[in-house]
């Protein structure tokens, strides 16, 4: 049997050479024209080109919806190979068929590692057999340590590894330091964790482990009022260009704070300015701006962004995008979304103003995840494209008033900030853990508030929002109106947050949020706080109508005393 992917790729090779001769003209548009007026570049082409492309779109849609067998025998493949009418949809055939073949033939291969019995692992922990433990996989050691409920059970192991430390034990030391933190705030576990992290920082090991050790070590030292010891680690983290923002923005924030504590105003201001320049959209950047938060956007950000609807060269990318625009005009949204995602590589290499146009296309496809991902890259590499309109595309307002009657106790802007982070406004979002819908409600949580017959009911926006807002309102009450703690509980569970409150009894609320041991939860709270600021700043007319009296970021997130 012939492989359709071979036919398709042959068609692509023959077709591209001919088709690249004719390229749509680049059109400069305002972002608001595409977002608000739904004006696409294809509609600016001569009427005969628009009509022809729409007819081609109808034929391609029929081909795309055909069964695999029908596709293999379809005359459409032959037509794409020989047609001289410049059909842009033929360029998608390899991706369409390859996607189908991959889905049909994909198999999950799981590698199973033999692991010693749990009793054997626990025996090695109790007998402090560090050589045996170092041979375990990370998951094996972590699973063994989960059985440990008292610090005294691992004291012998911790002492031995500290006294006999070599970099061969760096990974194990990092895991044990995290375990020692579980027994805070007692001083002995804290000092043990500090020493273990110090050992790890001396080793040339994987970036993830090394940077985490420096991060945790610096925060524990700040907790101990030892900024002098923390500074070298913070400076390393802030200057490590390959690091992820989770550490770099936080490191610059604490570097500024520590220099301030040590009465180094010049160095403190320098770290603050670097943070503002490199990470303008981070939570920690907003914190250092203090009272200036409410006045930044109107003064410093232009209203509009000029965008380019086609790249400035003869390229199949232009033709492909024309085809996608035709599908959108025909309301074939799912097919257009699937095909646009196949263009990621080409789009990432194109001009920034063109990328912003594609982000607006994603907006009309209701593919917010790709929309946000693309704009994140644009803002990071090309801050000149930041405008009030592009920020509104990055933080779109979705009206839930008609679907949700339970907003009386919640700030609508906070709800938007949360949903943007939870599901990127996708009502059919599903997580690997089983959370569903706009607010990623777990079925077991939903049953505490509503009778549901099937979990699919949670994909209905009205029900999902009703349950999600009621659950979050309860968390706010349980944590005395502390939004940061309520958000952490929404992500990790209230029991975990109660445990962290006991474990890290620090006065500085920002320090507490950064000490949260779950990276996902740390980022979750920080991102929603950041989202909240931009929503309240970009949509003041809605903010004025909110039922909440506290609208300032520091007040809503209980940060004013930090």
**So what's the pLDDT on residue 381?**
84
- Enzyme catalytic residues: 422
- pLDDT at position 52: 94
Q: Which residue has the higher pLDDT, 356 or 105?
A: 356
Average pLDDT over residues 413-423: 94
CA 185 distance to own-chain centroid = 31
Query: Per DSSP, what are the bridge partners of residue 273?
Result: none
What band does 82 get if pLDDT is binned at 50, 70 and 90? confident
pLDDT category of residue 402 using cuts at 50, 70 and 90: very low
Helix axis angle for 4-19 and 93-105, nearest 10°, is 160
pTM of the model: 0.87
Q: How confident is the model at residue 205 (pLDDT cuts 50, 70, 90)?
A: confident
CA–CA dist 90, 79 (Å, integer): 9
Mean pLDDT in residue range 48-71: 93
Residue extents of the structural domains in the chain: 4-22+31-99+305-393, 117-205, 412-556
Q: Is the pLDDT of residue 460 over 80?
A: yes
The pLDDT assigned to 101 comes to 54
Tell me: the pLDDT tens digits for 472-523?
A: 999 999 999 999 999 999 999 999 999 999 999 999 999 999 999 999 999 9
Predicted confidence at residue 311, as pLDDT, reads 87
- Determine the average pLDDT of the residues in 529-547: 78
What is the pLDDT confidence band of residue 17, given thresholds at 50, 70 and 90?
very low
pLDDT grade, residue 215 (50/70/90)? very high
From residue 53, alpha-carbon distances to 217, 328, 421 in Å are 60, 12, 37
Identify which has the larger pLDDT, 541 or 111: 541
Range of lowest pLDDT (15-24, 28-37, 274-283, 289-298)? 15-24
CB 437 within 8 Å of CB 421:
no
pLDDT at 300: 61
Residue 222, pLDDT above cutoff 60: yes
More confident residue, 294 or 159: 159
- Alpha helices for 395-460 (secondary structure H): 412-423, 443-446
- Among 486, 346, 516, smallest CA distance to 411 is for 486
Greatest pairwise CA separation for the chain in angstroms: 82
* Residue range 197-224: mean pLDDT, rounded: 95
Please check the confidence at residue 22 and state whether its pLDDT lies above 50: no
Gap between the Cα atoms of 277 and 249, Å rounded: 11
pLDDT of residue 295: 38
Is the model's pLDDT at 6 over the cut of 50? no
Q: How confident is the model at residue 12 (pLDDT cuts 50, 70, 90)?
A: very low
Query: Which residues are 30's β-sheet partners?
Result: 306
30-46: pLDDT as tens digits: 999 999 999 999 999 99
Average pLDDT score, the chain: 86
Q: Could you tell me which of 97, 78, 99, 95 has the C-alpha nearest to residue 87?
A: 78
Contacts of 139 (CB under 8 A, 6+ apart): none
Say if CB 445 and CB 493 are below 8 A apart: no
Q: Which residue has the higher pLDDT, 551 or 62?
A: 62
Kindly state the percentage of the chain with pLDDT values over 90: 68
What confidence category does residue 434 fall into, taking pLDDT thresholds of 50, 70 and 90? very high
- Could you count the other beta carbons within 10 Å of the beta carbon of residue 508? 15
Environment class of 435 (CB within 10 Å of its CB; exposed 0-12, middle 13-18, buried 19+): middle
* Lookup: tokens for 554: 């520091």
List the single range of 285-289, 314-318, 361-365, 553-557 with lowest mean pLDDT: 553-557
CA distance 516 to 488: 9
Residue 407: band (very low, low, confident or very high) from pLDDT cuts 50, 70, 90: low
Helix (H, G, I), strand (E, B) or coil at 436: strand
pLDDT greater at residue 122 or residue 411: 122
- Find the mean pLDDT for residues 125-147: 95
For 88-131, how does the pLDDT look when each residue is reduced to its tens digit (9 = 90+)? Answer: 999 998 887 775 554 444 444 444 557 899 999 999 999 999 99
Q: How confident is the model at residue 20 (pLDDT cuts 50, 70, 90)?
A: very low
Question: Which CATH number applies to 412-556?
Answer: 1.10.530.10
In this prediction, residue 217 carries a pLDDT of: 98
pLDDT at 406: 61
């Amino acid at each position: 049997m012939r492989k359709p992917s071979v036919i398709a790729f042959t068609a692509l090779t023959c077709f591209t050479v001919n088709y690249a001769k004719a390229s749509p003209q680049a059109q400069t548009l305002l972002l608001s024209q595409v977002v608000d007026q739904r004006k696409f570049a294809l509609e600016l082409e001569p009427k005969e080109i628009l009509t022809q492309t729409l007819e081609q779109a109808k034929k391609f849609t029929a081909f795309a919806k055909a069964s695999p067998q029908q596709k293999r025998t379809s005359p459409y493949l032959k037509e794409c190979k020989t047609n001289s009418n410049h059909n842009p949809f033929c360029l998608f055939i390899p991706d369409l068929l390859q996607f189908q073949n991959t889905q049909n033939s994909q198999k999950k291969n799981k590698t199973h590692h033999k692991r010693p019995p749990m009793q054997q692992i626990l025996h090695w922990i109790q007998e402090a057999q560090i050589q045996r433990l170092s041979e375990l996989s990370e998951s094996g050691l972590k699973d063994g340590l989960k059985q440990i409920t008292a610090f005294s059970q691992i004291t012998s192991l911790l002492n031995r590894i500290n006294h006999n430390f070599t970099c061969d034990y760096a990974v194990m030391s990092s895991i044990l330091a995290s375990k020692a933190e579980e027994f805070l705030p007692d001083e002995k576990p804290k000092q043990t964790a500090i020493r273990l992290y110090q050992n790890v920082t001396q080793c040339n090991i994987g970036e993830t482990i090394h940077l985490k050790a420096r991060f945790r070590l610096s925060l524990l030292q700040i907790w101990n009022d030892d900024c002098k010891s923390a500074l070298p680690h913070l400076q390393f983290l802030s200057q490590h260009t390959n690091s992820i923002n989770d550490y770099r923005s936080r490191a610059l924030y604490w570097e500024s704070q520590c220099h301030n504590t040590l009465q180094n105003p010049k160095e403190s201001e320098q770290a603050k300015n670097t943070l503002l320049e490199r990470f303008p959209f981070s939570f920690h950047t907003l914190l250092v701006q203090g009272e200036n938060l409410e006045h930044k956007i109107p003064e410093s950000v232009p209203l509009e962004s000029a965008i380019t609807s086609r790249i400035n060269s003869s390229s199949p990318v232009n033709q492909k995008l024309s085809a996608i625009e035709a599908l959108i005009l025909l309301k074939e949204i799912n097919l257009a979304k699937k095909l646009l995602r196949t263009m990621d590589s080409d789009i990432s290499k194109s001009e920034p103003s063109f990328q912003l146009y594609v982000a607006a296309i994603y907006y009309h496809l209701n593919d917010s995840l790709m929309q946000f991902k693309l704009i994140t890259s644009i803002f990071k590499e090309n801050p000149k494209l930041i405008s009030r309109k592009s920020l509104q595309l990055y933080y779109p307002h979705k009206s839930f008033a008609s679907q949700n009657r339970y907003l009386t106790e919640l700030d609508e802007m906070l709800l938007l900030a949360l949903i943007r982070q939870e599901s990127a406004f996708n009502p059919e979002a599903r997580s690997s853990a089983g959370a569903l819908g706009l607010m990623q409600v777990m079925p077991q949580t939903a049953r505490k508030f509503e009778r549901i017959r099937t979990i699919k009911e949670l994909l209905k926006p009205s029900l999902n929002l009703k349950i999600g807002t009621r659950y979050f309102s309860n968390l706010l009450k349980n944590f005395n109106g502390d939004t940061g703690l309520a958000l952490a509980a929404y992500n990790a569970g209230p029991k975990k947050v109660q445990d962290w409150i006991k474990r890290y009894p620090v006065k500085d609320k920002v320090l507490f949020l950064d000490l949260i041991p779950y990276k996902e939860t740390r980022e979750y709270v920080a991102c929603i706080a950041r989202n909240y600021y931009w929503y309240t700043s970009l949509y003041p007319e809605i903010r004025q109508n909110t039922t909440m009296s506290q609208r300032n970021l520091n007040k809503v997130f209980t940060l004013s005393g930090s």
